[in-house]
A and B are shown apart, each in its own frame.
Chain A
Amino acid sequence: MRTKRLSAALSVLLAGALVAGCSSGAEEQTPQETGPVELTFWTWAPNMDKIAAVWNEAHPDIKVTVSKQAGGDEAAAKFLTAAKAGNAPDLVQAEYQMLPSFVAAEAVADIKADVEGVRGEFSDGIWSLVTLGTDAVYGLPQDSGPMMLYYRQDLFAKYGIAVPKTWDEYAAAARTVRAKDKSVYLGGFSTKDPGWFAGLSQQAGGQWWAITGEAWKVGINDEATKKVADFWGGLAKEGAVDTQAPWTPEWNAALNGGKLLTWASAVWGPGVLSSNAPDGKGKWAIAPLPQWSAGESYSGFWGGSSIAVSAGSKHRKAAAQFLSWLNTDAKAVDLLIKEAAIYPAAKSGQKLLTTAPEYFANQPDFWQQATTIAGTARGFTFGPNVNVAYGAYKDAFDKAVQQKSSFADALTSVQDATVADMKKSGFTLAG
C-alpha cells in the first residue's frame, strides 16, 4: 500500500515537472532588443550555408543559420511536429504540394504584407502555388520543376524511332521498341512517384483540388486524369512500358545501360542522370513532353519548392526580408543556380541560365529549350491532404501494376481515400 502511495506521489511530482518543462518552452519570449536577429532555416538544398554566409556578411543585423535537412515525406512530418512542439525554425523549405498542409496546421505565417514588392518576379502559375488561391501569401517560390521528355538520341536513331510528338506516337514507339528488342523499354510508369503522375495529370488539364466558394472540390479522378491513367494502364498491361520501381540500382543500370530510352522527368533531371547514369553523358537530349492532341503544347510540374516563414517565428519581417533577397536578388539567384543547382522560380533567374549542363554538352540550347517548355507548364491547386493522396497513390498503383488491373479503378480508390480523409477531418466539401 505504502509503495503504491509513494510511487503515485513520485509520478505526480514528475508529471508536474514534465508539464512545467513543456509549458515554459512554449511561453512567449520577449523579442531581443539588442544584437542581431537570429534566424534558423531548414532546407535540403545543397550549399545553402554558403549562400546564407554571403547574406550574413552583407547584413550584420540579421544572422541566418542554415540547418541541413533530409528531403522527402519525413521532412514535412518533422517540421509539423516541431511546429506543434513550439520549436519550429524561422524559415522552412516546403515542397509546393506540402504547403497547404502546413497552412492547415497553422504552422506557417501569412507574409503578404512583407513581400508585396516582389510579386512581379514570379509567373502567375507559380505564384498561385504559394497563395493557394487565397488572398494570403504563405511563402516565396524558390525553384520549380517543369516536365520534359529526356531521351537517348543515339538509341532513337538505332531503333529508328522519331521523338514522339503525341502520347499516341509515344505508345506506338513503345511497342516498336519492344518488338525490336525484348530487353529494352521506351519508358517506365512509376508507382513510387505520385508527384510525377500529378505532373502528367497537370499537363492533361487535371485539377485534383479546387476551391469553390468556401468548400473544397476533389477531382483526382476527373476526366483528364482518368485519360492519363488509362493510357499508362493499357501500356503497362500489354507490357509495353517498364513498371519496375525507379531509384533502385536496377533502375540506374537500365538508365545507364541504354535499357530505358526515355524518362519523362523535370528540369532537375540532369543532376539525376549525371550521377545515376554517368555512361549516358552526351547521349541524352530533351524535348517537350508528348501532347494529348497534336499541335498543343502543355507541360506540368514535378517537384519544386517554396520557402515559408513559420507561424511561431518572432522575427517575421526579418525572415521575409531574407526570403525576398534569396529568391529574387540577382546575386542570390545566381548563387542558387551555381551552388544549390536549382532551376529558379524567379523569372529573372531563368535568364541567368546560359551554359548547358556539362552532361548535355551535345545540346547547347538546353536552357533555352527548358525555358520555353517551362512557359507551357500548367499547375494545379494542391489540397490540404496531399500526403494522404500520394500515399494512397503508391498503394493503389503498386497493386494495379501487380495484378494488371485497371488503372482507372486505382485512381478512383485514390480519390475515395482522399475524400474520406477530408470528410473525417471536417473539411467542407463541395457536391
Chain B
Amino acid sequence: MSTAQKGARAHRAGATPYLYLAPAVVLFTLFVAAPIGYTAYLSMRRVKFSGLGLGKNSRTEIFAGLDNYRAAVADGEFWAGWLRVLGYAGLVLTLMLGLALVFALLLDSARVRLARFSRIAIFLPYAVPGVVATLLWGFLYLPSLSPIHATLRAFGVENVDLLDPSTVLFSMVNVAIWGGTGFNMLVLYTQLRAIPRDYYEAARIDGAGELAIALRVKVPMLAPALVLTTVFSIIATIQVFTEPMTLRPISNAVSSTWSPLMKVYTDAFINGDLYSAAATSLVIAVISVVPSLLFMRLVRRQAFGEER
C-alpha cells in the first residue's frame, strides 16, 4: 500500500515538468528529430531501375547500406569543395570579424562623431537578404554597366574580370563581409556598452591612452562575445550556399559543386538523387560540428574561465 502511495506521489510530482517540456519536445521531434531520422533513413536507400526503366515496375527502391556514404566520401569534388570553402571561411572570418571589432571599438570610443548614423549604416546591409545582396553585387561585377569597372578604368585598370576563377572567391567574400559585418559589429558593440565605465577610468588613472584601453581592457572583456560571433560565423561560412549559387548563372567559374552544400542541392534537385543528397548532408553536418567544437574547446578557458 505504502509503496503504491509513494509511487503515485512521485508520479504526480514528476508529471508537471514533463508537461512543461511537452511543447518543446513535440516541436523538436516534429521539426528536428523526425526530419533528421528521415534523412538518415533515405541516406541508406537508393533507386534501382531495370532494363530501359520505362515500363511498369521497372523502378524499385532498395536498401543501399552505406553505399551512399562511401560514394560521398570518395568523391574528389566533394573534398575540393571543402577546400574552397576553407579558403572562403578563412578570409571571411578574419576580415569580417576584424572589421566588426574595429568598427565596434571605434563606435564605442568617446571621440567618434555621427555614431548613430554610422552604426545604422554599418548594420543596414545585414537587413538585405543574401540572395538580393548577391544579385546586386553580381550585377556590379559585370563589366559594361558597373560603376566598379568604370572607376577601375578611370584609374587605367582595364579588363578586370571579377568573376573569373582567380577572382570569384574574393567577389564572394566581399558580399559576405558586406552583409555580415554589421550584425557582428552590433553584437560586439552591445557587449562593449555593458562594460562598466569604471574600468576605463581606472585604466586612464593608470596612464592608459585610448588605444591601450581598447587593446588591453576592452578586447579581453569582449572575449565571450568574440567567441560567440566566431562560432556563428564558422557555422555560417561552412554552410555557404547563397553566394555561389546566385553568382553561378553569371559566371563561368562557379561549378555546380563549388561548395559542399551546393553538391547536396545538385544531387537532390538537379540529378533527382535524394538518397545521395541525404548521405552527403549528414556527412556535412558531422564535419560542420567538428570545427565549432574544436574552437569552443580551444577557447573555453580564456572565454569562460571565470564560470568554471
* A-to-B contact residues, CB < 8 Å: 2, 6-7, 10-11, 14-15, 18, 73-74, 76-77, 80, 100-101, 103-106, 132, 134, 136, 191-192, 211, 214-216, 243-245, 247-250, 253-254, 384-385, 387-388, 391, 394-395, 398-399, 401-402, 421, 425-428
Contacts and interface: CB of A to CB of B under 8 A. Distances in A.
B251 interface: yes
Interface residues of B, number: 43
Contact of B54 (A103, A247, A388): A103
Contact of A249 (B142, B165, B270): B142
Contacts of B52: 211, 214-216, 384, 427-428
Contact of A104 (B18, B59, B249): B59
Contacts of A211: 52
Nearest to B33: A11
B292 interface: no
B255 A248 contact: no
A399 B30 contact: no
A18 B33 CA distance: 12
A402 B165 contact: yes
25 contacts: A6-B18, A11-B29, A11-B33, A14-B34, A73-B270, A77-B270, A103-B54, A104-B53, A104-B58, A104-B59, A105-B272, A215-B51, A245-B250, A248-B139, A249-B139, A250-B145, A384-B54, A387-B271, A391-B271, A395-B255, A395-B257, A398-B253, A425-B48, A425-B49, A426-B50
A327 B144 CA distance: 43
A428 B50 contact: yes
Interface string B1-31: 0000000000000100010001001100110
Which has the most chain B C-beta neighbours within 10 Å: A76, A191, A215, A387?
A387
Contacts of B142: 248-250
Interface string B276-298: 00000000000000000000000
Contacts of B271: 385, 387-388, 391, 421
Contacts of A104: 49, 53-54, 58-59
Contacts of B145: 249-250, 253
B271 to A, nearest CB: 5
Nearest to B54: A103
Contacts of A394: 256
A245 B54 contact: no
Contacts of A215: 51-52
B266 interface: yes
B53 A387 contact: no
Contacts of A191: 252
A23 to B, nearest CB: 14
Nearest to B18: A6
Contacts of A399: 255
A103 B53 CA distance: 8
Given A10-B25, A14-B29, A387-B271, A250 B144 contact: yes
Contacts of B30: 14, 18
B164 interface: yes
Contacts of A134: 54
Contacts of A385: 271
B63 interface: no
Q: Provide the main secondary structure of the chain A interface.
A: helix
Given A80-B272, A398-B252, A428-B52, 12 more contacts: A14-B29, A14-B34, A77-B269, A132-B54, A244-B252, A248-B142, A249-B145, A250-B142, A387-B272, A395-B256, A401-B252, A426-B49
A384 B59 CA distance: 12
A12 to B, nearest CB: 10
Contacts of B53: 104, 384, 425-427
Nearest to B257: A395
Q: Which 3 residue pairs are nearest across A and B when measured between Cβ atoms?
A: A250-B142, A77-B269, A104-B53
A100 to B, nearest CB: 7
B252 to A, nearest CB: 4
B27 to A, nearest CB: 11
Nearest to B57: A106
A2 B47 CA distance: 41
Nearest to A249: B139
B81 interface: no
Contacts of A14: 26, 29-30, 34
A74 B272 CA distance: 10
Contact of A248 (B47, B249, B268): B249
Contacts of B224: none
B49 A248 contact: no
A391 B266 contact: yes
A101 B54 CA distance: 9
Contact of A254 (B144, B251, B269): B144
Contacts of B58: 104
A18 B143 CA distance: 53
Contacts of B37: 15
B49 A384 contact: yes
A388 B271 CA distance: 5
B179 to A, nearest CB: 21
Interface string B76-105: 000000000000000000000000000000
Given A247-B249, A249-B139, A105 B59 contact: yes
Contacts of A136: 54
B193 interface: no
A401 B145 CA distance: 23
Contacts of B48: 425-426
A214 B251 contact: no
A425 B256 CA distance: 21
A15 B256 contact: no
Contacts of A254: 144
Interface string B258-272: 000000001011111
Contacts of B143: 250
A53 to B, nearest CB: 32
Contacts of A387: 270-272
Given A77-B272, A245-B252, A248-B249, A427 B49 contact: yes
Most buried by A among B26, B34, B250: B250
